[in-house]
Each structure stands twice: as C-alpha cells, then as structure tokens.
Structure 1
Amino acid sequence: MTPLTLRPHLSRCLTRSFHTTRSTRSKLDVDALLSNPTWSLDTLLPSASSSSSDTPTITSKQLHHLLRLSALPPPKDATAEQKMLHSLHSHLHFVTHIRSVDTTGITPLQSLRDETSTAIKDQEIGLDQLKDALSREEVKGKYYKRIRRRQEAAEEGESAQSWDVLGQATKKVGRYFVVDGGKEA
C-alpha cells in the first residue's frame, strides 16, 4: 500500500479498535494523533555522542561468554570485538525503548495468525479430517496388535517406464553403467 492509501486504512483500524476497547469515550481524532509523532527512529537508536544510562553495557568478558554459549567463534581482533560490542549496545538500546512502551489494557498476542473463533474452529482437527488417514491403517500382529499403514503400490508415470537409464552412460557392462573412481592406478 502507498502512504496515501495506508492512511485511511490505518484510520479505520484505529477508530475500530478505539470503539471496541473504549466505547464510553468520545471519538478519537486519528488525524491529530497521526500528525504529531510521539517517537522517531533516531530515539530508538543510540546517538554517537551520548551513552544512555538506562541501557545496560556488555563487557568483553560477557561478550565472549555469550559467543561461547551460542557456539559462535570469538572475534578475530580488537576492532571486530569493538564492532560486536557496539552492535550489542545498539540492540540493547532498541530493546530498552521497546520495553518502555505502556501496554496496559492491551491483550497479548498469542501468535501471528487469525485468532477469531471461526479461525480457531477451522484449525481444529476432527474425526472428519482423519477418516482418510485412518482408513489406510490396519492392525498387524497376533500378540502386540501394532497399527501399520497399508502400503499402496506406487504408480510409475509414463516417463519413468520409458526412461532409458543406460542411454547417456559412456561406459557400460551388460545392463549396468560404470562409474570411474577418482583415484587412478
């Protein structure tokens, strides 16, 4: 979606979610909400000049411990280690800002799929879906009564029946083809 088509869609979603969660309040002014951003990308990334006090720092010893736990190789030299430490600091700064978002009154997401009651009902597996698989099973054995799947004869296609295996072979011995080994005698 382009930004022009995204704005009405976002406006409908925000208005719909606002009415379902807070129906007693007045209508949300979505245009006013979207016109004044409350954050920017620059606030999510640490600045080069200042170091944030709320972002935890990773020591060289902790970095080597994390790499060992992750089964990753240690950095080759001091510059590679500094790059890793700076990258980890940036990631931790980002996570700290994300964790500071107020999520009171928001139900947590269970998964990235449709969580409506009809979608959950469609995802359930019942006896109707299993009838075909159960019809291909049979009980084998006199004492242990193991359940085994009936083996159906594999149907070969026309190309498999007419395929000449030895047609492209350069060396043949009877009805077999010969593969030369990598070693020479």
Structure 2
Amino acid sequence: MRSLCTRCSAVLRHQRAFTTSAARPSAQKSVQQVLAQPTWSVASLLPKSDDAKSTTEAPITRSKLHHLLRLSALPLPETEAEEAAMLRTLHSQLHFVRDVQSVDTSGVEPLRSLRDETTEGIAEATIGLQQLSEALGKEVLFGHKKRPKRQRGNKVDTKGVEDWNPLETASRTAGKYFVVQSKKEES
C-alpha cells in the first residue's frame, strides 16, 4: 500500500477546498509555490516497458477483449495490430487503476458530497438570522395566537406583457374555449 506524500497531505490538511469566498493572496501564493515543483509524475503510475508483461494478474485474453468490446457496444478491432494496441492500452490503464487503488487511505474520512465540509465552509453556507432579517421584517403577527403571516408584495405591473389573447391563434373557438376536433371511430 502506498501513502500520500507528506507534502501533498500537508497541503490537503491546510487548504480549504470548494470555497466560494475570495481567496486570500497569501494562500494562493503558497499553493502556487507548492505546485511549481512537482513531487511526482503520472508517468510513474504507468507500467515500465519491461514491466508491462510481468503482471501478477491474469492477462487479458483476446476473447476477453472481444467480450468487453461487445458489452461496451464498441466495434471489434479490424487488424491484429489494432487489437495489440488495444490490449497494450487496456493493460496500462489497468496498471494505473491498480496503482491508484493501492494508495493507503486509512484515516482518511470518505467524501460525503462535493462541497466544502470544513468548519469554515459549513459556517459560510449556514443561513442565519442576519440573512433572514429582511424576510422576517415583512411578516405581520395576527390572530389570537399571534401567528406570523407574510405580507404580499406590491402587485406586479403586467401591462404590455400579458395583453395577448391566446384564442387568436386557435383555428376554431366556441366562445372563450378552444375547439379540438376529434373523430369517433365507428365500430
């Protein structure tokens, strides 16, 4: 099992993800400095040319490849060279997936959703009385139990917007109704 490098885990612990507020310039600068010098490459997750053949897993056979292509509704390879290229690509992709799966994630809490779940993020997304004060100020208490009732806003001016007559487009009308012609089947 591989673990995250210390620099990456330190950055993950101290950085705030998925924020909507303006980022602090000092935090941006440190992230830029960290990302300016990569600590590893994706190429390290791909198999070496001599290591491609020596996998501990059962190799993907020609029939298994054809079966996967049929399940995916993809066309079968037309030539042997095309089939060999597909097998090489599939082996490298599987090697990549196995390498990613081998990362030690013990102690890492699973992601429950794609939002900022840090205490700062939760506080930022929480709606409080300050945000609701305008809406609560428009309520009027009424009745014996003093129940709050929302006052209706001013009437919206729809002049010029809703002045059209929908019956103008109908081919047949009967008073203020559309007439839909249908045939009754005689049996």
**Structure 2 length-normalised TM:** 0.42
Higher helix share: 1
User: Relative contact order, CA 8 A, sep 6+: which one is greater?
Assistant: 2
**Structure 1 length-normalised TM:** 0.42
